[in-house]
Structure 1
């Protein structure tokens, strides 16, 4: 299994999609947080009304804003990279070459997912470090226990957000279309936002991680988070099964 993982890691690290996706998630989030902080400093009342708990110039406001950005932007960024990791084989017509390898297609799919999840965790950790630097640069003081707990939730939110994008891999496999995967990413983002506005809360698995992080764990139970992870695991299994039965004559 090590060889397929190394190959998939090399594909991701050397691809423009992987590099741009990483920079967009990190630098894009930092840029948005800086813009929000500048706007709050200038006293823009319309932004204050929209941001809610994030409309404060302190650690709590910074973490709340980061959670809001990650819940939507992170899902879009993670899902797009995942769609590319699976869809490139069909878009570049390299999928036929996989049938000549001594490694089964199911194991290749699992290697793609493993590399993707490692990348998601790494990006989430780097984003947490970036938030520490931002908080210090903005003069928010030394992080206390509550701030460290918030940073932990932010890291967990990033990891969970990457996990709930897993249906995208299955959609790409079924349709053999990269564009269908991107459409699935947008669909998951829209579904999550609609679920939040409709008041479904943690009962809707795609929305559970974001609500858990933004409410500091008060509005979503551990069981609801577990359901989100189970759903992600189910789509991992579906994707593996689809790749294991993959055929060229379709």
Structure 2
């Protein structure tokens, strides 16, 4: 089997699952509730720039949890659904299976980030915000997509944990702890040095220093390498 055949199988499994539609509903619910809350608090003085910058900032936690859940679920469901044995008997190398799953996770999460932003734009349009500018929207959208990609990078340790724990509950528990730690460390000034707060730094400033980039890259690489190594050397069920 080629990598494209495996990708096709993975995409079909995801689209046919109940989780696929449910995740889109959850990702729409977040922008809707946050947008309404922001507008209710600021009244009629809110414009497009204030609205989107505040909304995107508030969506960071939802994105981190959501992206991690998706990444962990794509791998962990093979254990919870007891389909790992069926997957391993296919005439394809384990590295190709891992690569296909990683590509699916990346594509799904990027699609969701664009979807969240589109829902946010729709809410702002319905509420009649002032100050629309294509340049402004494009700038915020670009920063939001880059931030989403940075959050996706730090989901790789969750993927590794999903394989080690043979499920997706452990990564979700870990990410809840990380969210709490992120708030504490950010308040202490360590946001540029903690992998899961670094994307938020970029969202706020549009810039990352070299140490933050290195920390982020090492975190992402460690998760990917660990996942490939686990599939290669760990005893499978």
- Identify whether the pair has TM-score above 0.5, normalized to the shorter chain: yes
List aligned pairs for 1:41-52, cutoff 5 A: 41=43
Number of the residue aligned with 1:2: 4
Number of the residue aligned with 1:49: none
Are the counterparts in 1 of residues 195 and 219 from structure 2 also a CA contact under 8 Å?
yes
SS of equivalent residue, structure 1 residue 79:
helix
Aligned length: 234
Are the counterparts in 2 of residues 79 and 182 from structure 1 also a CA contact under 8 Å?
yes
Are the counterparts in 1 of residues 109 and 152 from structure 2 also a CA contact under 8 Å?
yes
SS of equivalent residue, structure 2 residue 197:
helix
Cα gap change, 1:187 to 1:57, in 2 (>3 Å) = same
C-alpha displacement of 1:2: 0.7
Pick the aligned partner of 1:183 from 173, 180, 201: 173
List aligned pairs for 1:77-226, cutoff 5 A: 77-137=66-126, 138-215=128-205, 217=206, 220-221=208-209, 224-225=212-213
Report runs of 4+ in structure 1 exceeding 4 Å deviation: none
CA shift digits 1:18-65 (9 cap, x unpaired)? 2211221133223321232123228xxxxxxxxxxxxx6122322222
C-alpha displacement of 1:226: 5.3
Structure 2: distance between partners of 1:115 and 1:67: 24
Number of the residue aligned with 2:223: 235
C-alpha displacement of 1:78: 1.4
Number of the residue aligned with 2:233: 245
C-alpha displacement of 1:144: 4.8
Root mean square deviation of aligned Cα: 2.2
C-alpha displacement of 1:206: 1.3
C-alpha displacement of 1:222: 6.0
Are the counterparts in 2 of residues 86 and 173 from structure 1 also a CA contact under 8 Å?
yes
Structure 1: distance between partners of 2:20 and 2:183: 26
C-alpha displacement of 1:187: 2.7
Structure 1: distance between partners of 2:225 and 2:192: 23
Are the counterparts in 2 of residues 171 and 181 from structure 1 also a CA contact under 8 Å?
yes
Length-normalised TM-score, structure 1? 0.84
Pick the aligned partner of 2:59 from 67, 70, 74: 70
SS of equivalent residue, structure 2 residue 82:
coil
